[in-house]
């Protein structure tokens, strides 16, 4: 099918989903979760095919080890996929929430009300679990979505979406074409030109993908290019706390965008050698003179640097970081507050692993991605980030000339 026709169908579907009640949307989500759980062996089989096809690409260097790791589905990821969908079904409906109620004058009331964005274009690499996350968030927020996954996950993606749409077709009152999928590079090119029907593009992938998309579309883009996360070990930091947090942030899932890439250590921290030795015992490769301080390793590799003080740490992070997630380990609350106020990132943490930067862990059910933007949505983007708002003004025949010519006056009284 021609991409423009797919986009038209998505637009039509988005206008129908905007009017769905919470009961229908939650029924759709629970049906999705049930279907995926029942068909998980089919999904694992499809994923196995993708993994077998990807292995030679890793050996030849065409596909990175980090990307290969994201491609693999296991029981833990499957459990999280299903739990994420069910969690979203339990969340309050984000649409038609009254964000502001203001009486402009007697009998003239302004409402600011949340509403869906419309049609989302999602372009992602590897990570087939993205499909269930995006689909469930789109349904709950009353948006339609067009998905374009990487070629390395084609079989898994097809199978997951087939299962999802089969489940949705059985839900009474749920529109067709809310969740659609495309597969080719030509489709990506057409998507980026389709500002008539698509309202927001969300890329999930490496720097080159995000940069390409931002440079080749007029459609607003939500996301982040790099995940260059830092941990600063302050002078007063507890050694065991530092070891535990840094190890988790680097080794729990090294290829994730919220994995720590640079370790900064206060020059007066008394346990530097012990800390570095402990990290090496966790099979972390330490680099003290990296080619670039703005590099995302996606592996058990950690650049480290000694800094003179807190101010130097903050300056380093603001210069080389990607605005994703950065952490201070300290016993000094004033230093922690200064760090969190002055580091210009979407997530600023105090004595906690950067790996917590995740929509599911924040209680959003799931996420469409993590945004380092400073407009609309920032950090892990869940349901709220997939809604915008409209203004509803309700009166009984008022006209502007009465206010301009002084016969009436606004009193602007907030009612909520």
Per-residue model confidence as pLDDT tens digits over 14-61: 999 999 999 999 999 999 999 999 999 999 999 999 999 999 988 998
Digit-coded pLDDT (tens) for 270-292: 999 999 999 999 999 999 999 99
Residue owning tokens 């830092």: 230
Quick check: 66 pLDDT over 80?
Answer: no
Banded model confidence at residue 396, pLDDT cuts 50, 70, 90: very high
Q: CA–CA separation, 385 vs 372, rounded Å?
A: 13
Longest dimension (CA), the chain: 79
Selection from 380, 392, 361 nearest residue 97 by Cα:
392
Percent of the chain's residues with pLDDT above 90: 84
Q: What is the pLDDT of residue 3?
A: 96
Quick check: 365 pLDDT over 80?
Answer: no
Digit-coded pLDDT (tens) for 238-275: 999 999 999 999 999 998 899 999 999 999 999 999 99
Q: What angle, rounded to 10 degrees, do the helices at 272-281 and 239-251 form?
A: 40
Q: CA–CA separation, 247 vs 357, rounded Å?
A: 16
Q: What is the pLDDT of residue 132?
A: 92
Quick check: 67 pLDDT over 90?
Answer: no
Q: What is the pLDDT of residue 369?
A: 84
DSSP 153: G
Quick check: 70 pLDDT over 90?
Answer: no
Quick check: 416 pLDDT over 80?
Answer: no
> What residues does each domain of the chain span?
3-222+368-390, 229-356
List C-alpha distances in Å: 313 to 20, 104, 308, 344, 353: 49, 49, 8, 12, 17
Q: Which two tokens stand for residue 230?
A: 């830092």
Banded model confidence at residue 10, pLDDT cuts 50, 70, 90: very high
Q: Which of 264-273, 333-342, 352-361 has the lowest mean pLDDT?
A: 352-361
Q: What is the pLDDT of residue 19?
A: 94
pLDDT average, residue stretch 157-161: 96
Selection from 51, 77, 209, 189 nearest residue 131 by Cα:
77
Contact residues for 118 (Cβ-Cβ < 8 A; gap 6+): 11, 14, 143, 144, 198, 199, 200
Q: Which of 39-53, 170-184, 261-275, 361-375 has the lowest mean pLDDT?
A: 361-375
List C-alpha distances in Å: 189 to 121, 123, 244: 12, 11, 45
Quick check: 207 pLDDT over 80?
Answer: no
Quick check: 127 pLDDT over 90?
Answer: no
pLDDT average, residue stretch 150-162: 94
Domain 229-356 has CATH 3.40.309.10: yes
Q: What is the pLDDT of residue 33?
A: 97
Q: What is the pLDDT of residue 241?
A: 98
Q: What is the pLDDT of residue 374?
A: 84
Q: What is the pLDDT of residue 1?
A: 84
Q: What is the pLDDT of residue 209?
A: 84
Q: What is the pLDDT of residue 125?
A: 83
227/250: higher pLDDT: 250
Q: Which two tokens stand for residue 101?
A: 């109620």
| CA atoms in the 13 A half-sphere facing the CB of 100 | 13
Quick check: 300 pLDDT over 80?
Answer: yes
- How high is the mean pLDDT of the chain? 94
pLDDT average, residue stretch 203-224: 87
DSSP 175: P
CATH fold of 3-222+368-390 reads Aldehyde Dehydrogenase; Chain A, domain 1 (3.40.605)
Query: Are the beta carbons of 253 and 305 closer than 8 angstroms?
Result: no
């Amino acid at each position: 099918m021609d991409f423009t026709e797919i986009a038209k169908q998505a637009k039509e579907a988005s206008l129908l989903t905007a009017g769905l009640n919470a009961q229908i949307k939650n029924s759709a989500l629970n049906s999705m979760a049930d279907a995926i759980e029942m068909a998980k062996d089919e999904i694992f089989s499809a994923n196995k095919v993708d993994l077998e096809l990807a292995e030679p690409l890793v050996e030849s260097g065409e596909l990175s080890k980090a990307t290969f790791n994201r491609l693999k589905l296991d029981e833990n990821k499957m459990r999280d996929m299903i739990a994420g969908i069910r969690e979203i079904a339990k969340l309050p409906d984000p649409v038609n929430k009254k964000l502001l109620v203001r009486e402009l004058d007697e009998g003239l009331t302004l409402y600011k009300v949340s509403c869906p964005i419309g049609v989302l274009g999602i372009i992602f690499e590897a990570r087939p679990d993205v499909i269930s996350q995006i689909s469930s968030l789109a349904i709950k927020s009353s948006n339609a979505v067009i998905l374009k996954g990487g070629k390395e996950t084609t079989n898994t993606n097809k199978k997951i979406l087939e299962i999802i749409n089969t489940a949705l077709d059985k839900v009474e009152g749920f529109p067709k074409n809310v969740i659609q999928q495309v597969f080719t590079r030509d489709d990506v090119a057409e998507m980026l030109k389709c500002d008539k029907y698509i309202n927001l593009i969300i890329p999930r992938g490496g720097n080159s993908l995000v940069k390409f998309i931002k440079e080749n579309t007029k459609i607003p883009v939500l996301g982040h290019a790099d995940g260059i996360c830092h941990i600063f070990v302050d002078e007063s930091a507890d050694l065991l706390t530092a070891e535990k947090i840094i190890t988790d942030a680097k080794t729990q899932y090294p290829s994730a965008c919220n994995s720590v890439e640079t370790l900064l250590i206060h020059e007066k921290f008394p346990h530097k050698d012990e800390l570095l030795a402990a990290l090496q015992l966790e099979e972390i490769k330490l680099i003290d003179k990296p080619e670039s301080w703005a590099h995302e390793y996606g592996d058990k590799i950690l650049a480290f640097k000694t800094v003179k003080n807190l101010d130097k740490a903050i300056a380093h992070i603001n210069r080389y970081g990607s605005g994703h997630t950065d952490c201070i380990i300290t016993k000094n609350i004033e230093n922690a507050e200064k760090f969190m106020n002055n580091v210009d990132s979407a997530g600023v943490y105090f004595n906690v692993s950067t790996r917590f930067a995740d929509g599911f862990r924040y209680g959003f059910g799931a996420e469409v991605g993590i945004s380092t933007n400073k407009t609309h949505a920032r950090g892990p983007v869940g349901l709220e980030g997939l809604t915008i708002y409209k203004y509803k003004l309700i009166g009984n025949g008022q006209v502007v000339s009465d206010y301009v010519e002084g016969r009436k006056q606004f009193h602007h009284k907030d009612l909520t």
